[in-house]
């Protein structure tokens, strides 16, 4: 495999000139440049990234840690982040933490091993010793210690969702959300529900459920047993909303006639063509882009906003009237 030295010899110049020509840092005469290009082509030269990394103390790679890729929301985040990074010549290393703290700690190690320049960290755990000085950004979670994060405007969007149910004539409005172990913007979703209910003097039918991926329909079945006659339901995620739809249908409820459902995320439509949920659609492309932008700032050591909010919009589907 040819090295920069071979190219230099072939082109009849010094290695420094080749390096400058290839990296674009510093000036090189057109004459030298064209001879170098020819030599590169002739020798089929490709710069060795490891050597570059060692010298520049960076890796042109970013890691993302998610509980599991096997979840539509995370899959889409990863898709968008990768798309964004590849445009800047960066690579994305994906790690499934499987919600295990020990695996997440390994990921944190990667920063120190110079295997990655930064980390996008989506976790349910608290990590004491990470702080805002490290090249880390989170999504939807407060990792604390000044770690910047990107999130949708969960509270406002959720209020709109609940108010929409009222507007469409629902009178007994319930809410199901997943619980979160760390302080998360996601909890704003049921907070908004509670606030709206309180303001309107309406009774609450709230369930904050602790469940695993795959147990969604158990949760919704249980909910309908407990509150059989709600006619409006705001659900904290589309996976759960989809489960609620099927639970309700199997119980003989007609959606949206007997029960209207509004979800949150806007990711299910890619996987399940039916039903088309009325749902708060997060702008995941924008979230990913913002996360990458903030992360790059952190990598360069620049100051950056601690919290970035991306607008989410209510999208009307077939589960409301």
Binding site for its own copies (CB under 8 A): 1, 46-51, 53-54, 57, 59, 61, 63, 68-70, 72, 75-76, 78-79, 82-83, 86, 91-96, 98, 103, 106, 109-110, 112-115, 213-214, 216-217, 239, 242-243, 246, 249-250, 268, 270-274
Q: How far is the CB of 275 from DNA (least distance, A)?
A: 53
Q: Between vectors from CA 102 to CA 99 and to CA 103, what angle results, nearest 5°?
A: 65
242 binds, among DNA, its own copies, none (CB under 5 to 8 A by kind): its own copies
169 binds, among its own copies, DNA, none (CB under 5 to 8 A by kind): none
Residue for token digits 């409820």?
253
Please, what is the end-to-end C-alpha distance for the chain in angstroms? 66
19 binds, among DNA, its own copies, none (CB under 5 to 8 A by kind): DNA
Q: What are phi and psi of 299, to 5 degrees?
A: -65, -40
Q: How far is the CB of 79 from DNA (least distance, A)?
A: 30
**Residue of the chain from 12, 70, 94, 300 that contacts DNA (CB under 7 A):** 12
The pair of structure tokens assigned to 233 is 């339901």
**Sequence-separated (6 or more) residues with CB below 8 Å from residue 295:** 62, 118, 119, 120, 135, 136, 137
How far is Cα 308 from Cα 321, in angstroms, rounded to an integer? Answer: 33
Residue placing its CB nearer to DNA in the complex, 23 or 306: 23
79 binds, among DNA, its own copies, none (CB under 5 to 8 A by kind): its own copies
Residue for token digits 């091993």?
113
The pair of structure tokens assigned to 310 is 């991306």
**Residue of the chain from 32, 81, 84, 122 that contacts DNA (CB under 7 A):** 32
321 binds, among its own copies, DNA, none (CB under 5 to 8 A by kind): none
Given its phi and psi angles, is residue 24 left (phi above 0), alpha (psi -120 to 50 degrees) or beta?
left
Q: How far is the CB of 25 from DNA (least distance, A)?
A: 5
15 binds, among its own copies, DNA, none (CB under 5 to 8 A by kind): DNA
Long-range contacts of 106-111 (CB under 8 A, 24+ apart): 107/63, 107/65, 110/63, 111/135, 111/136
What 3-state class would DSSP assign to 141?
strand
How far is Cα 65 from Cα 123, in angstroms, rounded to an integer? Answer: 7
Residue placing its CB nearer to its own copies in the complex, 96 or 180: 96
**By the rule CB under 7 A, 110 interacts with DNA:** no
**By the rule CB under 7 A, 5 interacts with DNA:** yes
Given its phi and psi angles, is residue 26 left (phi above 0), alpha (psi -120 to 50 degrees) or beta?
left
What 3-state class would DSSP assign to 140?
coil
Q: How far is the CB of 17 from DNA (least distance, A)?
A: 3
Residue placing its CB nearer to DNA in the complex, 20 or 298: 20
CB 239 within 8 Å of CB 76? no
Residues that bind DNA (CB under 7 A): 1, 3-5, 12-20, 22-23, 25-29, 31-32, 45, 47-48, 51-52, 54-57
């Amino acid at each position: 495999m040819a090295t920069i030295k071979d190219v230099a010899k072939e082109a009849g110049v010094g290695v420094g000139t080749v390096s400058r020509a290839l990296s674009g840092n510093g000036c090189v005469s057109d004459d030298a440049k064209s001879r170098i290009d020819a030599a590169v082509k002739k020798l089929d030269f490709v710069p060795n990234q490891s050597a570059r990394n060692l010298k520049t103390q960076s890796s042109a790679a970013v890691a993302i840690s998610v509980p599991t890729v096997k979840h539509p929301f995370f899959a889409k985040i990863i898709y968008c982040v990768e798309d964004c990074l590849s445009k800047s010549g960066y690579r994305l290393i994906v790690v499934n933490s499987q919600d295990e703290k020990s695996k997440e700690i390994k990921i944190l190690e990667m920063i120190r091993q110079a295997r990655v320049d930064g980390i996008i960290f989506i976790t349910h755990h608290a990590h004491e010793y990470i702080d805002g000085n490290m090249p880390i950004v989170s999504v939807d979670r407060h990792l604390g210690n000044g770690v910047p994060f990107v999130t949708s405007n969960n509270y406002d969007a959720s209020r709109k969702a609940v108010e929409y149910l009222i507007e469409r004539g629902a009178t007994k409005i319930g809410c199901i959300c997943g619980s979160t172990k760390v302080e998360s913007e996601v909890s704003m979703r049921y907070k908004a529900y509670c606030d709206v209910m309180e303001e309107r003097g309406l009774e609450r039918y709230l369930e904050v459920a602790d469940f695993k991926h795959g147990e969604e329909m158990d949760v919704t079945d249980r909910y309908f047993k407990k509150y059989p006659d709600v006619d409006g339901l705001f659900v904290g995620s589309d996976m759960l909303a989809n489960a609620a739809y099927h639970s309700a249908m199997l119980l003989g409820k007609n959606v949206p006639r007997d029960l209207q459902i509004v979800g949150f995320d806007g990711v299910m439509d890619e996987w399940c063509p039916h039903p088309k949920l009325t749902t708060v659609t997060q702008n995941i492309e924008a979230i990913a882009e913002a996360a990458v932008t903030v992360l790059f700032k952190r990598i360069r050591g620049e100051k950056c906003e601690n919290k970035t909010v991306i607008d989410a919009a209510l999208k009307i589907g077939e589960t409301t009237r």
